[in-house]
């Protein structure tokens, strides 16, 4: 089941439990806390298994036409079960219903870290295309790959 979360406290609890489980992806404590804090004020959906939130997406508008996946994660124990796909498809449907024409997401460039290579492959499987790489947007160790998708 996927549902919209409106409570800031619930958003924080869900994001915190999931992101701390994903330390291979979100290993910088300051950045992790920023994702948790900023996600509280954004549209936020979560996917549940047996009544427990096991994944979430927080999003923001980057223009009148584009919605961005600000942060997305699924507990490691639930990877490979199609829950990320289910969560993404719900996010896409909501964005489309709100009139957005494009989706975007940022991640670390393919080939930099094996963990992020899996993330890149996921977004490509969801229909995203590479738009541009910003080599120093985050820092030189983490070149930022921007993906886009028309919806």
Confirm whether pTM is higher than 0.85.
yes
Q: Which CATH number belongs to the domain containing residue 77 in this structure?
A: 3.40.630.30
Q: How does DSSP classify residue 140?
A: T
Is the confidence at residue 28, as pLDDT, over 90? no
Beta strands in the chain (DSSP E): 2-4, 44-49, 52-61, 66-74, 102-108, 129-139, 142-150
Domain count along the chain: 1
Containing structural domain, residue 7? 2-150
Query: 76-129 pLDDT, tens per residue?
Result: 999 999 999 999 999 999 999 999 999 999 999 999 988 889 999 999 999 999
């Amino acid at each position: 089941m996927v549902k919209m979360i409106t409570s800031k406290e619930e958003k924080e609890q869900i994001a915190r439990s999931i992101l701390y489980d994903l330390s291979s992806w979100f290993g910088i404590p300051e950045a992790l806390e920023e994702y948790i804090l900023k996600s509280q004020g954004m549209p936020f959906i979560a996917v549940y298994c047996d009544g427990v939130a096991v994944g979430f997406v927080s999003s923001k508008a980057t223009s009148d036409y584009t919605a961005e996946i600000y942060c997305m994660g699924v507990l490691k124990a639930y990877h490979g079960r199609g829950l990320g796909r289910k969560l993404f498809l719900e996010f896409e449907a909501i964005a489309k219903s709100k009139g957005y024409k494009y989706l975007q997401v940022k991640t670390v460039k393919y080939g930099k870290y094996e963990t992020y290579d899996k993330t890149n492959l996921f977004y490509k499987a969801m229909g995203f295309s590479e738009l541009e790489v910003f080599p120093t947007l985050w820092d030189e160790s983490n070149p930022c790959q921007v993906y886009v998708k028309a919806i």
